[in-house]
Chains A and B, each alone.
Chain A
Amino acid sequence: MSLLEVTDLRVSFPTADGIVQAVRGVSFAVERGRTLGIVGESGSGKTVLTQSLLGLTPGGQISGTAVFDGVNLVGLEPKSMQRIRGKDIAVIFQDPLTSLHPLYKVGWQITEMIRAHDKSVSKKQAMERAVELLGHVGIPRPRERVNDYPHQFSGGMRQRVMIAMAISLSPKLIVADEPTTALDATVQAQIIDLLLRLQRESNTALMMITHDLGVVADIADEVMVMYAGRAAEKASKRDIFYQPHHPYTKGLLESIPRSSAAAERLKPITGQPPSLIRLPSGCAFHPRCAYVMDRCLTDQPELVPVAEAGEHRSACWLPAAATGLSDDVEELRRRTVEMGRTDEAAKVAEKIAAAPESEGSVIA
């Protein structure tokens, strides 16, 4: 059984302007010792998704189930959730400064963390453990540095402290929400290296939420691409990068500048993500999709398998065979779209083709 099994999770926030449907029926599983990368842009719901699992979405209406180690996290009372959070599920945020208390020494914060979940540990033992942990995550002179305050650490070192705190209770699952986004490339490389090493050592499961496909390429085993609160595509890392099926995944990959095609023109995705209050009909991606067909305007595609072997799933009306980046596949896509497109969809497609470089109006 998977360590975490999420089924049809939905999160919405009633606001004065309407209901924000942040997460709209997402299912996935995280296995022990594996890394699931969740990729998405602003407003894709990836952050709300993970926060809702941890009971960190006040005011949100959550439905569905999220079974972690036999316990359903959805609707769990705050006390039990608190016990799980930190002990069994550890969280690493993008900005460690907001999660570390500025007025306490980091050693104290780690020992508190340890002792809050296990009172039998003495202060001295906990401090020893803190020193050991800081050393383990690569902080030089840990015995001295336990007595430093968070602001005395650099950004990368602070993230290491956060990681030390996260692994202090040997969690079964680490949720990392953009842990390297605020860091420079060389420091980011160090942190990713550290996370990979820790995971190998302890067989911890890792959920990595990021907007950076580069980070995913480095660290993930499986990848889920999110768009407008739903999973667009879910597959092994290699399938996502080399055999993408969903046009959004393909679009993301093509919009990254690559060294192999330095002089070529980038192919951005036109338009911008939709409002989560007034979502487009059918497939939420259709107003930006170059392969828009009639049924995309009316029917919402489910996440279905697109390959016989393995677990490659995509939520797109294109045929399962339209997987990959080769010219043949592109030809198949083109032919499919030609057949499946009449008036309405043709108009949408025209609009997309007419303004390839503009983001369109606010009122998309």
Chain B
Amino acid sequence: MKFSKSFALSVVCAAILAGCGGDDGKNGIDGTNGADGADGTNGVSVLVTSADVITTNAQHAYAVYSDSLIAAKALKEQLEVFVAAPTDENFTKAKEAWLDAREPYGQSEVYRFREGPIDALTKNEEGSWTLVPDEGPEGRINAWPLAEALIDYTISMGGTELPEDATNLSLGGNLIASENENYAAINRELLTKVAQESDPETVQSAFAFGSDDRNVRSGYHAIEFLLWGQDLNGNGKYEAQRDYTAGHRKASDYFTDVGTCTSEGIVQTEERTCTRRGQYLLESAKLLVEDLNNVTDAWTPGQGFHYMAFTHADNTQSALNKILTGMGELSLGELSAERIQKSYDANSQEDEHSCFSDNTHRDIYLNAKGIQNTFLGEYTRFSGEALAGASLYDLLVVKGHAELANKLRAALEDTMAKASVIDTTAKLGSSFDIQIQENEFRPAIKATMDALAAQTNVIEEVMATLEVTNP
């Protein structure tokens, strides 16, 4: 894979030089330097084309999914170490690996909502990869709210609002503790199964039919839950007034020596439960790596089937539409409305994205960052390597819409400034679930939602200007 940094630089030069004479770049390095060069067409650079922007976008998709995959593999290895030797130190490392894995993935979400591999990758009847709307792996990778009560022990968080008492009632027992023969093996099937008519009633009840009717029990958030547990207060209770702590799961939930395995903070006689919990953890990680691997493959420059289709010369308008649609949909409907407004309005912990680990501030920041990355044609890899390519910003300038280019750049910067407040507040100890309930912090959250809405307006203006609203 090649990321042309010098190319990006020349784009910037060309944009600056446009209109004031100089080499238009069409002859490459054979062109004449600086003011001595000939003007481009009408004095405007023609260097950055739609195709360049699309190629950059596709290459950066590969980079961000590769990073997600690398980090998920690292997480999987760390989990294997932890399950084999469940020490506090290994437990901490496993949790850190999970947090690390979220960093690239959060930035990849701008590639959603555009019928790309993450939402649509599946195998057809002949067994080859294809895209079918809503059949992709995203639901297995990052869906939430998780059906955590179906996976492992929980206490009712509704205790203060609803009359149920979890000690009396459970969702048919959870899969990890279950001794039901239908759930004997903890494997891919258990994590992804969709119920069939031929299944027993209990299995149907647990797994339901069809992807729209699912109980989420795999992906990042399943792993998160199995590492942190429910985000209860420090006293182990669910209370209306939340404290700053994340979930309090203990490493001893993975102890397999006789008489050491814990659930709900106490030693259970059954080591089997802890063994199965470890299996569930590893199986979730395995599935995550597998799914991310497939998505990454589809984006492989020069050979991935989606990369080839997306960058094909015939698909320029639809590809630009997809890039901007992903930016717009993530900005408003997903990030601002569903991921922020809903928990903000409802003061609902359940609706925050990473509720077990209290990492929602990063989800918000990284999602917004991904949108900005796309517009600027930039992405800083997990390794620290900064990638830059032809950007939508450049394209707008080249097409004579410098003002609009700056307008969107400013809108995105404004959002990042606002999202940074949420991020920093959380890093200083007040996690997102505290921020939504404290009047002191709520204005910053509202400001982020408003900034996201404002940037969506400009994104739509860009779509109209580039005439890609209806490709």
Does B associate with A?
no
Which A residues are closer than 8 A to B by beta carbons? Answer: none
